[in-house]
Chain A
């Protein structure tokens, strides 16, 4: 996510086969893992060799497998495996199969070569070999290497079809693999171990040239490379919530983007592919071209590597949607619109033309779409006015902290003025931006959409009630499944204050929302938020990949009011490079799937569907609408309008135009104004109106979901892109019984009879005038999110400061449902007699919670669970006292609450940044992982705590821990 280069199938360059696949990542269920702070659950151990018979309980077969600690083999390791058959008394016999073929056979020769390799592998197993090494060591000017991934997957699937795969191990010796994604893909398609010999040789050569510090010798270089590949593999695996390499190996956790179905069926059976594209002949042609570049006599390449240009724009390199001209045209257009509207319009038209036509090569799959008219053209003045259209526009979630206050407020001002919506991002919002003005009018700096991400930074009851929409960011934006990190140097006192943390200390957003491990959990979070702020639409942000439609249907059933589907071609500068290139698909695919699935399941009318990811022009909006979007999100483009020049240095705090920096000197350089952003959105709206008039559509609503109006441009002269086919995208499902293809109904959130209605009624004197009240009520497990709606009502009136402690004193008896005391505001105290479920005190905002067993209880409280998992997740302030033991992930991401508990499960105090936790009893494993602030006191009676604490983090961040 965050790249703006074309998908490989549309690129003019010869791309590696790996780049045709996108990594999958967990969305709602089976959440991603944090492989750094929860390393204890991860493993890279790989077994090479034939699999034993799982029914062989007596162990008669004596089948053995080689165990390696991690799957990247040094040259020495590989030679050991290759020569293992020479040893007496061992059961292994290794066969090396060459995966190169004679260059004079050209591209057409590859198919036969692959078949021959598959047959050789089959024959080897028949010949009692039980480890197969696929090797491209023999690559030379007269021998072309078959792409290692293709050879591996071909052999893997051939052996599966023959029923022989479990009879042999598969090891790959290749000069091709070097990047993280390459290793992940080889693993995903069956490689039990990989020897990247050329990467090692390149490193050794660099070492010999003195490129590394003196203490790093040739062995150390290889060791460090292997270690970093291992870390990277863990990251890629954890994105899908997979803990072990053994589970990942052969699991095919990838989508193909731009590969033909028959090609995928033959070599990558079971992998999803949605827009067709290239097949074996094109892949072979690309391989031959690369071989020619490498061994030919190209003057430029004779002594230098190809410039690439994948990440940074380079003339000879890959094309980028945001080229210098595109940025310049857009900026000059929005900056001169007021003085010289006509030349500004010309500049905008030039910008739009570059983006829309793909005149310098196809950059997005929508460049290949044609649009059929709805009817006869209509006069422009009959088309929906631009001021209505821009209300469908929103700006994307970019957190305050990652971008400067100047840039953030510029977007907010612009969107508030035109009636669109801006988004806080996950960094919270300074209260001075959302508190109404003294005259009671809405604050022009307020972001209408408040985001709730896994870090829960600054998510207080007050924050939630000051929103028109609440967005749950499911896949960490630009780096799905990875979590995020705001480096310490960007956390100045104001960011720290907004996020309720400590200046200078880095902040972690965990990979998963720890209160969303299933779709039911998501429904619960939606319910929590809706309780706090009934007026706000609850939005769920998903990332485009195959299967997003199914997830979206689940999200709609979980009663989200709004779903955002994000494409890969956003513009973030701070995404890890592996995610930047290899995670997330084009929004066209994800949006089409989401729209079709929700229509077919009669859910579409109930949700607003929004699309974002590299939208730039009116035509982009039109295509988004035709594929089913009601709303349109823009992030990078309005930021460019406000002055961003795509430095892609967002993570370094050195943004030279003051957009993505906290440096006060650099922030002064910010020259963007709300007018620039407004001008940009009106340019888009007017372009869209022009297109609508041509198509004969008066209202945008008439076009939403009309994917039947889309047609495909035929490419005749492109050497590899001719095979793309968008039929699946353009399929138009018919709405059933009164449903519409656009948003037309509202979700029923079932909030009529919640317990809080009664609480609010009883607490009215306190809410009205601060008069203390005492309430006693019974509670049952179906009373979920108790206290949330009351807190919303209180925060609306009294803000985060709330009322004096215990103003609203509530005693509840029974068993509380999930998310008890969520976002409880200051001034509310709940004495809960009985027990409570998961997520007690989620987002605690100053209230007090006591949970204690009934006097009649017969169990031993300090040995019994009294509250469930993930208690105090994202708590900001307040107090909690639990007479008993809590479940797992107690006080995860606690920013400031004080809690006393008599024992916790695993991962207690994870990612905590503030507050105090007192554990009078045992903790589980991995205590304080990623904890960068606050204090934890643990009673360590049997002196075993040392082994259960994740010390390095705690110590390095000077978190004090006292042995009591």
Chain B
């Protein structure tokens, strides 16, 4: 275990962020890495619980053996820690950056104290492993002579491809887009995870014998039956990009968009792909309303700020959650409580209990205002415009176009 009394002596610490004013001026990652010594201190807080709630059904969905690598880090054996971490997780540098960390919610210390900074330790192990050159292609002892097709190169497709290749199969990944990564590359903004991490893994996997076929949209420009004929097995690992529409009038107006096209375009732009053919979706100089309160909404908020939005308002259909949950009846489950993502902290105006009823456009078909009653709990929704008219009066010049990015 870490240090026996570590949790009593050491405070939780997470990596700091660049100040919001600085970080919204670029699209890159903005966490300031912690020194190795301070990460070790954080690992020392782990108590090696008899039942590690962080690991298992209540915690880490990929079953990271968290207490084990916390201990290894505390004892300075980073290489073994990296090996242990990779035994459950093919790409810990991804999860160390973008996972919401249910492990920390489930950490025993979260019950009466502040949880171990598990995600921070995970990222530190993963980054150090890559920096130190410990991540090498792992070749199978023998090939099986079987071939597997994997449709989609998102996290699931990539992890499956790597495991199957290491088991000795001949693996072919078919990807619609020009690069691998799926949602990880095209959905997640660079400020949360820069894409060279994916490139690194792709090159590792290519060395392990995985063949990537880009621009193949199975079922559209390449029939599935072809794959079935060419391979012994086909694994469908496609993502889910179908948005959930808002059940409200006026979503057809100009300036109303779903999250994914908006985020994908920005990622293509940053990735050097040609987006000149597309309608340019950018928040620069605009007032943005983001409908939705989850992580994707947050990504839209952060992207909007970086593109130069004048103001961003976020509408969350749920009531404002409490600052702190009742730990005794909730821990170790994911708590419904007030959470402020880094993007929201960059200056978004948040409205709670704000259901979108109607989007109002002008004669030119541009969206002008959005009708969202202040309380969805009320039996009679407040007559229109209560929310946005207030906003309109206070900060929205009437001539300004409104773009509403819908995040579901």
> Which A residues are within 8 Å of any B CB, using their own CB?
297, 299-300, 302-304, 307, 311-316, 320, 322-325, 327-328, 331-332, 335-336, 573, 645-649, 652, 654, 656-657, 665-666, 669, 671
Residues of A within 8 A of B56 (CB): 313, 315, 323-324
Of the listed residues A300, A315, A647, A648, the one surrounded by the most CB atoms of chain B closer than 10 A to its CB is A315
A927 and B167 CA atoms in complex are apart in Å by: 65
Please name all residues of chain B whose beta carbon is closer than 8 Å to the beta carbon of A336 when the two chains form the complex: 329
B83 interface hit (Cβ, 8 Å):
yes
* Contact indicator A645/B87 (Cβ below 8 Å): no
Type the 1/0 row for B126-167, where 1 means its CB is closer than 8 Å to any CB of A.
000000000000101110000000000000000000010011
A315 to B60, CA, bound (A): 10
Cβ contact within 8 Å between A313 and B109: no
A645 with B328: in contact, given A299-B163, A323-B56 (CB under 8 Å)? no
Interface check B52, CB cutoff 8 A: yes
A652 to B6, CA, bound (A): 12
Please judge, given known A-B contacts A332-B329, A656-B109, A656-B111, whether A314 and B55 are in contact too, CB under 8 Å. yes
* Residues 47-81 (chain B) with a chain A CB within 8 angstroms: 47-53, 55-59, 63, 65, 67-68
Q: Is the CB of B329 within 8 A of A325?
A: no
CB contact under 8 A between A324 and B51, given known A299-B163, A312-B67, A315-B63: yes
Contact: B83 with A313, CB < 8 Å? no
Task: List residues 94-116 of chain B with CB under 8 A from any CB of chain A.
Answer: 106, 108-109, 111-113
Contact across chains for A320 and B51 when beta carbons are under 8 A apart: yes
CA–CA, A931 to B242, complex, Å?
A: 75
Q: Which of B53, B84, B109 contacts A324 (CB 8 A)?
A: B53
When distances are taken between beta carbons in the complex, the residues of chain A under 8 Å from B333 are: 328
Q: Does B5 contact A (CB under 8 A)?
A: yes
CB atoms of A646 and B49 under 8 A apart: yes
A328–B163 Cα distance when bound, in Å, is 33
What is the distance, in angstroms, from B111's C-beta to the closest C-beta of chain A?
7
Q: Do A646 and B47 form a contact, CB below 8 Å, given A313-B56, A324-B56?
A: no
Whether B47 pairs with A322 at a CB distance below 8 angstroms is: no
* Complex contacts, A332 vs chain B, CB 8 Å: 329
Residue numbers in B under 8 Å from A646 (CB-CB)? 49-51
- Can you list 20 contacts pairing A with B, beta carbon distance less than 8 Å? A297-B141, A297-B142, A299-B167, A307-B65, A312-B52, A313-B55, A314-B65, A315-B63, A316-B63, A323-B57, A324-B59, A324-B332, A327-B51, A647-B49, A648-B49, A654-B4, A654-B8, A656-B7, A656-B108, A671-B328
Q: When chains A and B are docked, how far (Å) is the Cα of A121 from the Cα of B98?
A: 63
Decide: A324 near B47, CB < 8 A? Known: A300-B87, A645-B111, A656-B112. no
Give which listed residue, A300, A312, A315, contacts B49 with CB less than 8 A.
A312
- A573–B57 touching, CB < 8 Å: no
Interface string of B113-125 (1 = CB under 8 A from A): 1000000000000
Q: Are A313 and B108 in contact (CB under 8 A)?
A: no
**Cα separation A327 to B108 with both chains bound (whole Å):** 12
Chain B residue numbers with a CB within 8 Å of A671 are 328
Closest-CB distance, A614 to chain B (whole angstroms): 15
Closest-CB distance, B106 to chain A (whole angstroms): 8
Of B8, B57, B108, B168, which one neighbours A665 at CB under 8 angstroms?
A: B8
Assembled-state Cα–Cα distance A381/B140 (Å): 65
Cα A324 to Cα B108 in complex, Å, equals: 11
Known contacts A316-B63, A652-B4: does B112 contact A657 (CB below 8 Å)? yes
**Closest CB in chain B relative to A205 CB, distance in Å:** 13
Across the two chains, which residue of chain B brings its CB closest to A655? B47
- Contact partner of B50 (CB less than 8 A), chosen from A307, A316, A331, A647, is A647
A304 to B88, CA, bound (A): 12
Select from chain A the residue with minimum beta-carbon distance to B141. A297
Q: Is the CB of B51 within 8 A of A645?
A: yes
Please state if B142 and A325 are interface contacts (CB–CB under 8 Å).
Answer: no
B7 close to A313 (CB less than 8 A): no
Residues of B within 8 A of A313 (CB): 50-52, 55-56
Cα A666 to Cα B67 in complex, Å, equals: 21
Q: Which residues of B contact A648 (CB under 8 A)?
A: 49-50
Lowest 8 CB-CB distances: which A-B pairs, in order? A648-B50, A315-B63, A324-B58, A646-B50, A669-B112, A646-B51, A297-B141, A313-B51
Q: Which residues of A contact B83 (CB under 8 A)?
A: 303-304
* B 240-256 contacts with A by CB, 8 A: none
Given the complex, which residues of B lie within 8 Å of A335, measured CB to CB? 328-329
Closest to B333 in A: A328
Give Cα A315 to B57, complex, Å.
Answer: 8
Please indicate the chain A residues that have their CB under 8 angstroms from the CB of B53 in the complex.
324, 327-328, 645
Please tell me which one of the listed residues A300, A304, A315 contacts residue B55 in the complex, with CB atoms under 8 A apart. A315
Chain A, interface SS category? loop
Contacts of B7 in A (CB 8 A): 654, 656
> A656 with B113: in contact, given A304-B83, A307-B65 (CB under 8 Å)?
yes
A645 touches B108 (CB 8 A): yes
Scoring B residues 332 to 361 as 1 if CB is less than 8 Å from chain A, else 0, what string do you get? 110000000000000000000000000000
Among B56, B142, B168: residue with most chain A CB under 10 A: B56
Q: Which chain B residues lie closer than 8 Å to A322 at the CB level?
A: 51
- Chain B residues within an 8 Å CB radius of A315: 55-56, 63, 65
C-alpha gap A855/B53 in the complex (Å): 74
Report the bound CA distance from A307 to B63 in whole Å.
Answer: 12
A649 cross-chain contacts in B, Cβ below 8 A: 47, 49-50
Interface centre among A307, A311, A324, A325 (most CB of B within 10 A): A324
B186-207 near A? 1/0 per residue, CB < 8 Å:
0000000000000000000000
Which residue of the partner chain A has the closest CB to B330? A332
Bound: A314/B66 CA distance, A: 10
A665–B5 Cα distance when bound, in Å, is 12
Tell me which residues across on chain A come within 8 A of B8, comparing CB atoms.
654, 665-666
Considering the chains assembled together, what is the distance between the CA atoms of A307 and B71 in angstroms? 14
Residues of chain A lying within 8 A (CB to CB) of residue B67: 312
A665 to B113, CA, bound (A): 12
A654 touches B5 (CB 8 A): yes
Complex alpha-carbon distance, A325 and B67, angstroms: 18
Decide if B63 touches A647 in the complex (CB within 8 Å): no
Note all chain A residues with C-beta closer than 8 A to B87.
Answer: 300, 304
Q: Which residues of A contact B58 (CB under 8 A)?
A: 324-325, 328
- Contact indicator B47/A654 (Cβ below 8 Å): yes
Q: Min CB distance, B148 to chain A, in Å?
A: 15
Q: What's the minimum C-beta distance from B303 to chain A, rounded to whole angstroms? A: 36
In the complex, what residues of A have CB within 8 A of residue B84's CB?
A: 304
CA of A302 to CA of B168 in the docked complex: distance in angstroms? 14
Q: Which residues of A contact B63 (CB under 8 A)?
A: 315-316
Contacts A303-B83, A652-B4 hold; do A312 and B50 have CB atoms under 8 A apart? yes
Complex: how many Å from CA A285 to CA B135? 36
State the CA gap A933–B393 with chains docked (Å): 82
B52's nearest neighbour on chain A, judged by CB, is A313
Q: How far is the CA of A328 from the CA of B65 in the complex (A)?
A: 20
Contacts of A314 in B (CB 8 A): 52, 55, 65
- A302: chain B residues at CB < 8 Å are 138
Other 8 A-B pairs with CB < 8 A, given A316-B63, A328-B58: A312-B52, A313-B52, A314-B55, A323-B51, A325-B57, A645-B108, A654-B5, A656-B47
Contact of A645 among B49, B55, B138 (CB under 8 A): B49
| CB atoms of B332 and A328 under 8 A apart | yes
**Which A residues are in CB contact (< 8 Å) with B163?**
299
Bound Cα distance A315, B61 (Å): 11
Distance in Å: Cβ of B66 to nearest Cβ of chain A: 10
> What distance in Å separates the Cβ of A887 from its nearest Cβ neighbour in chain B?
44
Is the CB–CB distance between A297 and B140 below 8 Å? yes
Q: In the complex, A303 Cα to B163 Cα: how many Å?
A: 15
Find A647's partner among B47, B57, B65, B106 (CB 8 Å cutoff). B47
Cα of A790 to Cα of B125 in the assembled complex, Å: 70
Shortest distance between the CB of B48 and any CB in chain A (Å): 7
Q: How far is the CA of A665 from the CA of B141 in the complex (A)?
A: 55
Task: Give CA–CA (A211, B50) in the complex, Å.
Answer: 24
Chain B residue at minimal CB-CB distance from A343: B329
Q: How far is the CB of A660 from chain B (nearest CB, A)?
A: 11
Contact B50 A299 (CB under 8 A): no
